[in-house]
Structure 1
Amino acid sequence: MNIALIHGWGSDARCWQPLLQALEDVGGQVINIDLPGFGARAAEPWPETGDLLAQLDAQLPDDCLLLGWSLGGMLAARLAATSGKVRALVSIAANGSFVNRDDWPGMDADVFAEFCRAQCEMPEKNLSRFAGLQARGDGQMRGLLKTLKSSQPASIPQSWCTALACLGELDNRALLQQLPVPALHILGSKDALVPAAAAKKMHAPGAQVTVMGDCGHCPHLSQPEAVARLIRSFVSSLDAATAPLEKSSVARAFGRAAQSYDAAAHLQRAVCRGLLGRAAENGAPKRILDLGSGTGYGSELLRKRFPEAEIIALDIAPQMLGYAREQRPVADGYVAADAEQLPLADGCIDLVFSSFALQWCYQLPQLFAEIRRVLAPAGNALISTLLPGTLQELETSWRTVDDAVHVNRFLPEGDWRSACVGNQLEVRAAVEQRVLHFNDVRTLMRELKSIGAHNVNHGAGKGLLSRAKLRKLTEAYERQRTDAGLPATYQVLYLELARRRAVSELDAAASG
């Protein structure tokens, strides 16, 4: 994937060098764009917005990750909405509206107007003031201020005033809610120009919003390594091909297994009990989300542990919810939805509980952006999922039969940790290996189908299993038999998550 970058007002393409060094292992072709009137294009006038976007679009490489900072981020959002060349967007310190509009947090309109007037009358003095505003509140303020002032041009073109007017006119509020490509919005918790409170407004389907602590308007300059980690995590979630299955196939598989699930889910119940045992002894959540609630076994345990709590059971398979309603009617509400697009309000959940459900999610940054969004400021999450090495004996045996995909793919622990950290979630993780034993291969495969966990991958073999293939599979699996029977290993990951204190304090301040 190629990378294109658009700098902010008062800067030029050089501002990206620290981040590009940190991202040297990401992407292919890099196009570092100077805006008209800035950097190498200082002599050029600032064009009308439509003409400018057409110029920028012509410079973008195909299939690009488009990065934009401040004004560049707002222009990048416009391009992401209209250009077929943009695969994904990363905006840094870019608001939906730079000036305050209605209830959208931004710079006061009168303050911005005064800034524009000062720029036209005293450009050098105003630019020095602007450098101070960009560095304000940053943990690396002194070094950052020195960097910003050292990059200021010897003379400032009049076109910068026109560029400022463009910054004040751009209004991307509605656009950010319906971008056609995935987006990552990075804001600084102490930014003096783009209020961190805007983060709440920028959440949208397919978008991740991260507020970085201890930095102001220039996180790519003061914390390039941290920004690079966020971008790497985001990039790892982009390729739709990394999701080896369709969510609709998962929903159908578990829907068909609703009636048979409980009779076969011995491991699932044991892990669910173990996960609940990790809940804080003195915790008393008011509202709990049972995420991937299935037949309601977890909801039933949660009801016994927290009898006064409101429990919302959410699952991708409506048939599972129907079974839970009839057989374990302990939840207060039942919602059919995808975990990566939660139809819940911000900050409404005190405890997210999810046992053996999220291994079907492959867009982890988006998943944890949603979990963090719905968590209350002091909220927590308890999650169990599966790691690579799960059903390794079955996978190894199938390789002797054919080249098709027969075992669902599980993401490594590092991907889970990175997605949590990238979404400002504190992580405690533990890995446990559990081994089940079966009398024969048919029994194992029948149990997997009974719990809906059989193969639903794009590359799965279709049609009935022939006798010849079954015989070959059985012979290969038998070579792994132990005294206890045919082993089936499960690598279980437990995650205990909490919103980081800096972010929760910021949210509280913003809402107050």
Structure 2
Amino acid sequence: MHYQTLPAKNGLANAEYLLLIHGWGIASAVWQPCVATLNEHYHLTLVDLPGFGRSVDVASMPLPALLDELNCIMPESYSVLGFSLGGMLALQLAQQFPQRVQRVSTIASNAVFVQKTDWPQAMAADVFQQFYQLAERSPAACLKRFLLLQAKGSDNEKAVVKTLRELSDKQTPNAESLTDALNLLVDIDNRKKNSQPVLCLLGEHDQLVPVQAANDLKELNAEVKVIAGAAHVPLVSHAEECCAAIINFMPSSVAKPLCEKKRNKLLVAKSFAKAAATYDSVAGLQRDIGNQLLECLPSNNAGLERVVDLGCGTGFFLPKLQQQLLPAQLVAFDLAEGMLRYARDHRELQDALYLCGDAEAIPLADNSVDIIFSSLAIQWCETPEQLFAEVFRVLKPGGRFVFATLGPDTLNELRSAWQQVDSYVHVNQFLDEVIVNHAIAQAGFVVQQWQEQTVVLQYSTLKLLTRELKALGAHNVNAGRPSGLMGKQRVKALLAAYENHRNEQGMLPATYQVWYGVITKPEEQS
């Protein structure tokens, strides 16, 4: 089952771990309108349930096995936020693991989804049966109808429909996945009072979970808030109000001193600066990706004034960019001063400008750059919205951003092995595709090209992989990482866990998920 963890931002200490579970018919992308706000306060884990999103090929599980799987991906203490079906699963998790689940928040969830004699405030049985039969016959038609029904009654219905379409899965779940999930909906009964605090957010005009259920939910000791003007997806239509209610309900986190807020990014700079002398000796994959990215550059380069290599590292591609694009000025830009120093000392360039800075605050004027080239650098940025807004600002109208970056499935084998050892964050974590694409669109870019590549490297021993990562400077800089030295028993446990991935050729795989993007800033309208 696919999931992604986003460490809390803004230097928060002791932030709560929050598991986000999506609803029926749509995957974890539905949380996108809430992710940035919630991530300011909590460590977020977004899961794609079996049959949906990136777990589209994962077989359905019986409820007890599914709950065990969800519980296993979380640390010892955590809270849960669920939408619709996800909210019903969240309450089941809390009942099954009362010592580990601290709080539960639900959005558009009922205690019982289909009407019962003693719980009439739910979906009519005949309406549910129609959905079930349509899901069996035509999954695509069923999901289309369900999308419209989720938005029906909302104050901004058309806008909600448009957003839901943008957030919907690219690959339609099959009939079996849909009906299995519907069976979960009809089978779950959450009328047992939970020992944990529970918040229920309901939409005033919800066509699937009647707002009249509010009083019955209060009888189960839940705190209930009705979102005025919302239908079944207030997390999309009224994201700000939902987030405010959840943050008010959850325990507050303690902020670190202001000087520590950028600690992770400073660690990135320090780690790569230290690795400047060894980077090129082990950067075979990085060179292959960069060379492929060079092929995405335009062929007509006449009159280019300024080209930027964003995250230039040791400067390996600077001579190639200068030779291929012939710009009047080539800017070598990197967060790590040690990398820039190495590039200046080892690359033969004419009239290059070396800038040390943060890609989320680029020290260049508006509309001053023709092309920005960036190979395997932007995944280290903290806020994709700020990154792409800055790139958009400095590019000229018609300018383009050509980049390669890493997706969340990168080094999934190493991450999986560590999860069998402890609950710390040991492997650098990267943003989901939907979050990156949303930031691109929000900035105003037009996507010209988007390509995904999966690269699997092979190692005879785990030590060779970890030694290479160290030489590259790709240390773990995420919140939630362990402190201190690693004991022998944990090393032994890690080695044993990674051995489960050894393939028929006797090698240990390490997967890299690579995205290549070419996006342009629109020409100014006359």
Match of 1:305 in 2: 324
Equivalent-residue separation in structure 2 for 1:358 and 1:24 (angstroms): 20
Whichever residue aligns with residue 273 of structure 2, its letter is G
Contact 1:299 1:313 in 2 (8 A): yes
Match of 1:479 in 2: 500
Match of 1:290 in 2: 309
Secondary structure of 2:298's aligned partner: coil
Cα shift at 1:493: 0.9
1:413-432 equivalent positions in 2, closer than 5 A: 413-427=433-447, 428-432=449-453
Describe the superposition over 1:211-239 as per-residue Cα deviations: whole angstroms up to 9, x where unpaired.
xxxxxxxxxxxxxx9xx89998xx9xx99
Describe the superposition over 1:24-70 as per-residue Cα deviations: whole angstroms up to 9, x where unpaired.
97599xxxxxxxxxxxxxxxxxxxxxxxxxxxxxxxxxxxxxxxxxx
Contact 1:291 1:339 in 2 (8 A): yes
1:59-208 equivalent positions in 2, closer than 5 A: none
Equivalent-residue separation in structure 2 for 1:367 and 1:250 (angstroms): 16
Match of 1:444 in 2: 465
Secondary structure of 2:413's aligned partner: helix
Match of 2:515 in 1: 493
Equivalent-residue separation in structure 1 for 2:269 and 2:423 (angstroms): 26
The equivalent position to 1:399 in structure 2, one of 419, 422, 430, is 419
Match of 2:341 in 1: 322
Secondary structure of 1:366's aligned partner: helix
Equivalent-residue separation in structure 1 for 2:385 and 2:419 (angstroms): 31
Equivalent-residue separation in structure 1 for 2:369 and 2:32 (angstroms): 39
Aligned CA distance change for structure 1 residues 403 and 245 (closer, same or farther; 3 Å): farther
Cα shift at 1:464: 2.2
Equivalent-residue separation in structure 2 for 1:481 and 1:229 (angstroms): 46
Equivalent-residue separation in structure 1 for 2:291 and 2:329 (angstroms): 19
Match of 1:260 in 2: 278
Equivalent-residue separation in structure 2 for 1:327 and 1:470 (angstroms): 38
Match of 1:212 in 2: none
Structure whose alpha-carbon radius of gyration is higher:
1
Equivalent-residue separation in structure 2 for 1:309 and 1:455 (angstroms): 38
Equivalent-residue separation in structure 1 for 2:433 and 2:364 (angstroms): 27
The equivalent position to 2:364 in structure 1, one of 301, 319, 344, is 344
Secondary structure of 1:447's aligned partner: helix
Secondary structure of 1:290's aligned partner: strand
The equivalent position to 1:468 in structure 2, one of 472, 485, 489, is 489
Describe the superposition over 1:179-215 as per-residue Cα deviations: whole angstroms up to 9, x where unpaired.
xxxxxxxxxxxxxxxxxxxxxxxxxxxxxxxxxxxxx
Cα shift at 1:329: 3.6
Describe the superposition over 1:53-92 as per-residue Cα deviations: whole angstroms up to 9, x where unpaired.
xxxxxxxxxxxxxxxxxxxxxxxxxxxxxxxxxxxxxxxx
Equivalent-residue separation in structure 1 for 2:456 and 2:381 (angstroms): 23
Cα shift at 1:469: 1.3
Aligned CA distance change for structure 1 residues 258 and 299 (closer, same or farther; 3 Å): same
Contact 1:229 1:422 in 2 (8 A): no
Describe the superposition over 1:308-335 as per-residue Cα deviations: whole angstroms up to 9, x where unpaired.
4411001000000000000114261100
Contact 1:408 1:455 in 2 (8 A): yes
Aligned CA distance change for structure 1 residues 371 and 295 (closer, same or farther; 3 Å): same
Whichever residue aligns with residue 371 of structure 2, its letter is L
Calculate the TM-score normalised by the size of structure 2: 0.50
Higher mean alpha-carbon deviation, 471-480 vs 388-397, is at 471-480
Match of 1:280 in 2: 298
Equivalent-residue separation in structure 1 for 2:475 and 2:31 (angstroms): 38
Aligned CA distance change for structure 1 residues 399 and 231 (closer, same or farther; 3 Å): closer
Cα shift at 1:245: 6.2
Equivalent-residue separation in structure 2 for 1:492 and 1:440 (angstroms): 23
Equivalent-residue separation in structure 2 for 1:250 and 1:229 (angstroms): 36
Contact 1:362 1:411 in 2 (8 A): no
Equivalent-residue separation in structure 2 for 1:415 and 1:382 (angstroms): 18
Secondary structure of 2:385's aligned partner: helix
Equivalent-residue separation in structure 1 for 2:429 and 2:262 (angstroms): 7
Equivalent-residue separation in structure 2 for 1:471 and 1:302 (angstroms): 45
Aligned CA distance change for structure 1 residues 417 and 24 (closer, same or farther; 3 Å): closer
Match of 1:271 in 2: 289
Contact 2:286 2:376 in 1 (8 A): yes
Contact 1:303 1:309 in 2 (8 A): no
Aligned CA distance change for structure 1 residues 26 and 262 (closer, same or farther; 3 Å): closer
**Gapped runs of 5+ residues in structure 2?**
1-29, 38-232, 248-252
Aligned CA distance change for structure 1 residues 271 and 484 (closer, same or farther; 3 Å): farther
1:247 aligns with 2:273: no
Match of 1:354 in 2: 374
Aligned CA distance change for structure 1 residues 268 and 25 (closer, same or farther; 3 Å): closer
The equivalent position to 1:458 in structure 2, one of 463, 472, 479, is 479
Match of 2:402 in 1: 382
Equivalent-residue separation in structure 1 for 2:421 and 2:301 (angstroms): 50
Equivalent-residue separation in structure 2 for 1:460 and 1:467 (angstroms): 18
Cα shift at 1:409: 1.1
Match of 2:48 in 1: none
Secondary structure of 1:496's aligned partner: strand
Secondary structure of 2:322's aligned partner: helix
Match of 2:63 in 1: none
Whichever residue aligns with residue 253 of structure 1, its letter is S
Equivalent-residue separation in structure 1 for 2:462 and 2:437 (angstroms): 34
Aligned CA distance change for structure 1 residues 429 and 448 (closer, same or farther; 3 Å): same
Aligned CA distance change for structure 1 residues 26 and 364 (closer, same or farther; 3 Å): closer
Whichever residue aligns with residue 300 of structure 1, its letter is P
* CA RMSD in angstroms, aligned pairs only: 3.1
Equivalent-residue separation in structure 2 for 1:360 and 1:433 (angstroms): 19
**Gapped runs of 5+ residues in structure 1?**
1-21, 29-224
